[in-house]
Structure 1
Amino acid sequence: MLDVRRMQVLHAVVAESSITAAARRLGYTPSAISQQIATLEREAGLPLLERTARGVRPTEAGRVLTAYAADIGARVDAAVTAMADLCAGRSGRVAVRYFASVGAALVAPAVAALHRDHPGIRVDLRLTDPDDPLPEVREGRADLALIIRTGASPTIDGVRLIYLRPDSYRVVLPEGHPLAAHTDLELADLAEEPWIGSAWPGPCMDAIFAVCDTAGFTPRFAVQAEDYVTAQAFVAAGLGISLIPGMGLGDHPQPGVVVRDLRNPEAVRGVYAAVRTSAEPHHPALTAMLNALGAVASPLVTRRRPAAPAARPSTPAPRQPGSPPTARRRTPRPTE
């Protein structure tokens, strides 16, 4: 077996054409360099150097081995640079799992900022089920997953949850609906309305069931749309009203609907980043991605909503967002 360190000693001797000069460059004594070369010659089974009037020069075997030593040295230097880039967050890969409604509002601008500030980091993005992407994170198949919780513990079976922002639900009504005359609505105003389901049973629906339970009624679902675009289309068709989170609506709701704020009580879902508890601080690319998500999420928390007409005088002041929602979890009920 050829010793890589002795090959680097040979490379230095050949580059200097002198054992003495190589010893001075490497910080060894000439006798130590000679011993290293003699041992390497025994490992190679051939002489590697021959003496000349001006010093030493490589034999054919010495030239071949020196070329490999140069290549190994370059690879080691590249490895050192790669490790330095990883440690500094200049390179690396981070696998992110996200759900549809958070993609445009949060993920896309965060990835754009990451590419601007850390162009060497590669992001593996994949759309996933918002209900339970945690196994991918726990098993190391993903570094980060964006999830919804209406209330969450800091850790779940080796996965740490990092709160990013609240996402308030808003009331979506057909154009011309009598309740559209108000700026915002109390939940009790919607108790007798037919509802359009806007999400699969799970965390996104939990917030709706929990807040309706607090208000003392169970929503009566006329249609279960299970996505926000279709839910708005059914509302526009006059089949009912719906509660849709702000990130699901975006800045431009569909034609045929009006959007109003919900008050007393407010329905909120929490957006969290899930990471393995063992991942940080050993994953600088992940840290950079989390920082980018946090930077995008902070302005979204305080961004003002568009004004709507005809404010209700008795409406209480809106709750200031910024803390995790605390609504209790509830098992989804069958639609009617």
Structure 2
Amino acid sequence: MAFSDASLVALRVFREVAERGTLTAAATALGYTQSAVSRQIASLERAAGSALLERRHDGVRLTSAGRIVLRRAATVVDQVDAAARELAGLPDEPATVRLGWFTSAGAVLVPRALAALRRTHPGITVTTREGGTPALVRALRAGTLDLALLASAPPFRPPDTETPPLRTQTLTERGLRIAVPTGHPLAREEFIDVADLHGQRWIAGAAAGEERVMGVWPGLDERPEIAHTVRDWLAKLNLVAAGCGITTVPVALAVALPAGVRVLPVRGGPAEQRRILLARLPQPSSEPVARLADALRAAAIETHTSA
């Protein structure tokens, strides 16, 4: 079986697996059974004459052959979809940019950038999706995102170890702070001593697709009491305002606080810095992608300045 005989269905399934990171997640997204997904991957591997995926306990990882096939599969699927739209008499979408972003970027940074882009380039349409860093990186690799805003914490490693490396740019670096109810004892001072975080009730939750807990001060030398598990930042902050606990927030969110919340820096222990990265594949950008990147950079500077 030659690779030229690979089916379009198999290419779509492979692209979905590469983006989702597991056969199970791809099957759910496509409405297939896991065995059907496995059969499509097996047929594509036979056509390629090589293993395309490395099966691991935490999902799958592309082999070197898999990275080649993914790059070509993304192009083929996109071209077939464009042809289908043209045959159906639907307009093409040359000015559409697909943006992915980590959770807290949706509070201030993304809306500011999109509002500015609409004013300067109203012909550009931007579609967005929220996700955890691993999922966004896989989507970039699969070609279903053009740009992604990623959150990076020390020691600031590359987003993944695949080749070629993603092209990343640091938009801003900001500190991590604590959000407390205005009536909380910790809100009486201009900072919080790290020792005073002991014994606090936390509002936290796992980031999408990640195991680390978001909302608890990093490096806390005790098992934290997590009173509420929440992913949504607005819900976290409103729970803080209601006196239900405290949570960590990036400095940029200080401009989007609900009433009844105060944000304070922490004194003592290592500085907790976070970076916002703009990531894309290492290939020339289209004009719409470049314009959105410019808008995101400008919004990051504005947000950093006003925080």
Instruction: Check the 8 A contact 1:204/1:269 in 2, yes or no.
Output: no
| SS of match in other structure, 2:111 | helix
In structure 1, how many angstroms separate the alpha carbons of the residues matched to 2:95 and 2:244? 49
The reply on whether 1:180 has 2:187 as its aligned counterpart is yes
In structure 1, how many angstroms separate the alpha carbons of the residues matched to 2:292 and 2:286? 10
Q: CA deviation at 1:242?
A: 1.5
Taking structure 2 as the reference length, the TM-score comes to: 0.58
| SS of match in other structure, 2:114 | helix
Look up the equivalent residue of 1:181 and give its one-letter code.
R
Change (3 A) 1:161 1:208: farther
| Bigger-Rg structure (1/2) | 1
The reply on whether 1:153 has 2:158 as its aligned counterpart is yes
Residue 263 of structure 1 is matched in structure 2 by 267
| SS of match in other structure, 2:145 | coil
The reply on whether 1:166 has 2:166 as its aligned counterpart is no
Look up the equivalent residue of 1:142 and give its one-letter code.
L
Q: CA deviation at 1:276?
A: 0.6
The reply on whether 1:293 has 2:301 as its aligned counterpart is no
Show the 5 A alignment for 1:162-241: 162-200=169-207, 205=212, 212-213=218-219, 216-241=221-246
Instruction: Check the 8 A contact 1:185/1:260 in 2, yes or no.
Output: yes
Give the number of equivalent residue pairs: 208
1:65-85 Cα offsets, whole Å, 9 max, x none, are: xxxxxxxxxxxxxxxxxxxxx
| SS of match in other structure, 1:233 | helix
1:185-210 Cα offsets, whole Å, 9 max, x none, are: 1222212212121553766956766x
| SS of match in other structure, 1:153 | coil
Q: CA deviation at 1:109?
A: 2.1
In structure 2, how many angstroms separate the alpha carbons of the residues matched to 1:252 and 1:263? 23
Look up the equivalent residue of 2:277 and give its one-letter code.
Y
1:58-116 Cα offsets, whole Å, 9 max, x none, are: xxxxxxxxxxxxxxxxxxxxxxxxxxxxxxxxx73322122442124222222233333
Change (3 A) 1:255 1:108: closer
Instruction: Check the 8 A contact 2:168/2:277 in 1, yes or no.
Output: yes
In structure 1, how many angstroms separate the alpha carbons of the residues matched to 2:265 and 2:256? 15
Cα root mean square deviation, aligned: 2.9
| SS of match in other structure, 2:150 | strand
Q: CA deviation at 1:178?
A: 1.6
Look up the equivalent residue of 1:133 and give its one-letter code.
L
Q: CA deviation at 1:218?
A: 4.2
Percent of paired sites with the same residue = 30
Instruction: Check the 8 A contact 2:215/2:247 in 1, yes or no.
Output: no
Instruction: Check the 8 A contact 1:196/1:222 in 2, yes or no.
Output: yes
Look up the equivalent residue of 2:262 and give its one-letter code.
V
Structure 1 unmatched runs, 5+: 1-90, 306-336
Instruction: Check the 8 A contact 1:198/1:231 in 2, yes or no.
Output: no
1:204-235 Cα offsets, whole Å, 9 max, x none, are: 956766x632x644433222222222223333
Change (3 A) 1:199 1:261: farther
Show the 5 A alignment for 1:92-171: 92-123=95-126, 125-131=127-133, 132-150=135-153, 151-153=156-158, 156-157=161-162, 158=164, 159-171=166-178
Residue 21 of structure 2 is matched in structure 1 by none
